[in-house]
Structure 1
Amino acid sequence: MEYYGIESYSDAQVKKLGLVGLSGLGKIVSSGTKSSIYDIITERIIEIIQSNDNLVWRKSWTTNKEGQPNFPMNYSSKLNYQGFNGYFIKWQMVAIKHDCPYFMTYKQVTEKGGNIKKGAKAYTACFYTRDLYRHLQTGKTITAIKYKELSNSEKANYQQSFTLKVYNIFNANDIEGIKFDEKWKGVAVSKKEQIANCEKIYTKMPNKPQLHFGGDRAYYTPNFDSVQMPNITDFKIPQEYYSTLFHELVHSTGNSERLNRKFGKGMNDPQYAFEELIAELGASYLCGHTKIDYFTLNNSAAYIKNWKKSVVEELRANNKAIFKAASDAQKSCDYILGKLDKEIYRKFKGKVETPKVGDKSRPVFSKSLKLREEKERLKGDVLMLTIRVKKNAKFKEKLALELDKYLKTLNGLSGLDSELTSLKAKKKFLTNLLKGDNDDFRVIGRRVGLSYRTSPIKKK
């Protein structure tokens, strides 16, 4: 059983796994205090994010000798850590600079006749216990043994309680006396193999969204269940195209007929930032699965700086956010890879035939869909052009204010066609303004006492 993407164990399972009474671990979460495990884990993640030059989840998931990605694994059970633990342990590997993905608990090490190296740094993993039952009215808890003694009517007043606890695991690099296999060591994967693996992600995805090409922006449109991508030739390298595609495919799993997530209404909506975090985490997982490094279309230092700021703010505002995001990202990837229960896929009713990735042919759209997609592209174009104009030294602060006033006069009446008309007018005006040949500039310039200069803006 999982909760927040983290395995939960009964009291008997906890004892069998040796996860009790170790170095003061297993401390019960107190959700109303700063010392809660949620806070401790969140602060640890923030520390890792802030001390890393890049976004920590973009570090490559290396590939082993068997051609499989090196996701963290419990060496005794030979099972990969899933959900939050999978991501969290990987981020700790990045911070500690370990490359071997094998881990064991202290008990597992001693049972195998091994020892922990002196000065070794333990990794943190999490689990939920489900040995308590909480009364729905009073909030008081009782043990599983007491719960079994209740009548059926009394049991109806209780709900199983999940308690977050943590435990230590140790990396193979810090373990002596145990001979680990070397299957994890990397193997070269050709570019041809990488691309073939990436192609399969979309072509084999169950209930995949429509995929369209063109323009210079990538986005998912929930209302039409479609992913818009620039052509693959517009990217510097193919891996960059696929990592961007993976980001949008993770978004698409939030559709109401797939995993039904809330997308948020804009950049200032916390739900929007949370969904972006899910897509970022999911894309990194799929890049590891397809044996490519995690490239991104927005890998500038400014982008990373802004992401760090927004991610840290979101994590501090909600100490359970990273647990939920990692869980949703894992589930999204499992959906894309066809690993979930078949009943989940059967709920989908909007499946449509789509062209293959890389195919530049476009299906026939209805007029409404064409107009709406054009509107989305124009909005992005107008935003980028406005930013370029305002950042240029020739356009001072007062001129920027007049520019905003002028652009508002171009707003059309309500309705799709009139909105498109105003967007087209704005794009044309801004494009000409950058070229230095727009008559309207003279009018705006005179309002703030600036003379019109014909010299075009220099390209960066």
Structure 2
Amino acid sequence: MRAKSKPSRDVAAEITNLIVRKLEEGVAPWSRPWRITGAGGRPLRHCGTPYTGINTLYLWAIADACGYRSRYWMTYRQAEALGANIRRGESGSLSVYYSNFKKTEANPITGAETEKSIRFLRHYVVFNADQIDGLPAYFYPGAESTDLADPSARQSAIDTFFEAIPAEVRHGGDRAFFHPTFDYIQMPHQRSFRTMDHYASVRAHETTHWSGGTDRLARAFGRRFGDQAYAFEELVAEIGSGLICAQLGLPNELHDNHASYVAHWLGILRADKTAIIHAAAKAEQAFNYLLAFSGGDREESPDSAPVEVLPEAA
């Protein structure tokens, strides 16, 4: 008698369910967890390369849910190669990437054959360094410093990032928005914000909207998300703002998470289990587009060594 095959994991559903749960708890994974981890910043592979796309949000959410402070994640074999051991009883987390295969289809009328490329989601299992014994010391975060980061040093990074972006920014009034028709960003005066960090966080949100303009990345979600397209664009802008804030080392106590949109986001994510993967990919694209103006690179670990890594979702 043949053994029953093990059902495949619905990876997209697992990711979406965790993001939905964190939103329901009032914790948006793109606006808080980079300061939960001891060193801040994006999750890192064992070689020090930052994760991108949905893996950034998902591993931030896992770290927040489980209290992990290390930024580093690795497979069982990678830990073993470093002479380390996964602690007994520890459960791994998912890291995802897209793969594809070619399929030839024949036209039933003409018989002409065409080749289609079909993408599908794959995954592998990773563990946080906090679940592993015997790693080199730099994989584990040190004691958290109670000293606040130097605001002037942070301001320099903020200025460098935003001044290079050729968006028209107008100041005045009490609202922040991007005007797609006339292609400008409206911001309240800087003195209206509690701190320049708060100003930078809001400007990051609106600048992410700007990146999607018709002459730039031309984001349009009307056909896929219909009446929810506006809320989906807000989700992309919130994730993009979170990535920018993490890049600039801003504190995480900056966001109101655009609470009025949370119910819409939950509706979108519950209706389409791949929506958060799509949103994360679009936000990553926007982040890279904006970062390129200042010639910036994602921060990387100084202890990293180049190794082969698996590709992941765009």
TM-score range, shorter chain: 0.7 to 0.9
Which residue of the partner structure matches residue 101 of structure 1? Answer: 71
Question: 2:197 aligned to 224, 231, 239, which one?
Answer: 239
Question: 2:104 aligned to 129, 135, 145, which one?
Answer: 135
- Which has more helix, going by share of residues? 1
Aligned residues: 283
Determine helix, strand or coil for the equivalent of 1:133.
strand
Shift in alpha-carbon separation, 1:182–1:129, aligned structure 2, 3 A: closer
Which residue of the partner structure matches residue 282 of structure 2? Answer: 328
Question: 1:171 aligned to 118, 123, 128, which one?
Answer: 128
Counterpart contact for 1:246–1:286, Cα < 8 Å: yes
Question: 1:73 aligned to 32, 44, 50, which one?
Answer: 44
Give the unaligned 5+ runs of structure 2. 1-5, 296-314
If asked which structure has higher relative contact order (CA below 8 Å, sep 6+), I would say 2
Shift in alpha-carbon separation, 1:298–1:43, aligned structure 2, 3 A: closer
Mapping 1:297-336, distance limit 5 Å: 298=256, 304=259, 306-336=260-290
Which residue of the partner structure matches residue 156 of structure 2? Answer: 196
Counterpart contact for 2:33–2:60, Cα < 8 Å: no
Q: What is the distance in 1 between the residues matched to 2:92 and 2:230?
A: 35
Mapping 1:18-167, distance limit 5 Å: 27=8, 36-50=10-24, 52-62=25-35, 69-75=40-46, 77-130=47-100, 132-136=101-105, 157-167=114-124
1:255 matched to 2:213: yes
Counterpart contact for 2:34–2:40, Cα < 8 Å: yes
Counterpart contact for 2:177–2:187, Cα < 8 Å: yes
Determine helix, strand or coil for the equivalent of 1:278.
helix
Determine helix, strand or coil for the equivalent of 1:223.
coil
Counterpart contact for 1:239–1:295, Cα < 8 Å: no
Once the 2 structures are TM-superposed, how far is the Cα of residue 262 of structure 1 from its aligned partner? 2.0
Could you tell me the TM-score, scaled by structure 2's length?
A: 0.80
Counterpart contact for 2:41–2:247, Cα < 8 Å: no
Counterpart contact for 1:225–1:255, Cα < 8 Å: yes
Counterpart contact for 1:64–1:183, Cα < 8 Å: no
Identity %: 26
Answer with 1 or 2: which has the greater Rg. 1
Q: What is the distance in 2 between the residues matched to 1:137 and 1:236?
A: 63
Q: What is the distance in 2 between the residues matched to 1:255 and 1:263?
A: 13
Shift in alpha-carbon separation, 1:274–1:181, aligned structure 2, 3 A: same
Shift in alpha-carbon separation, 1:218–1:295, aligned structure 2, 3 A: farther
Q: What is the distance in 2 between the residues matched to 1:135 and 1:237?
A: 58
- Could you say what the CA RMSD is over the residues aligned between the two structures, in angstroms? 3.0
Once the 2 structures are TM-superposed, how far is the Cα of residue 310 of structure 1 from its aligned partner? 1.7
Give the unaligned 5+ runs of structure 1. 1-23, 28-34, 139-152, 342-460
Amino acid at match of 1:338: A
Q: What is the distance in 1 between the residues matched to 2:28 and 2:169?
A: 28
Counterpart contact for 1:39–1:319, Cα < 8 Å: yes
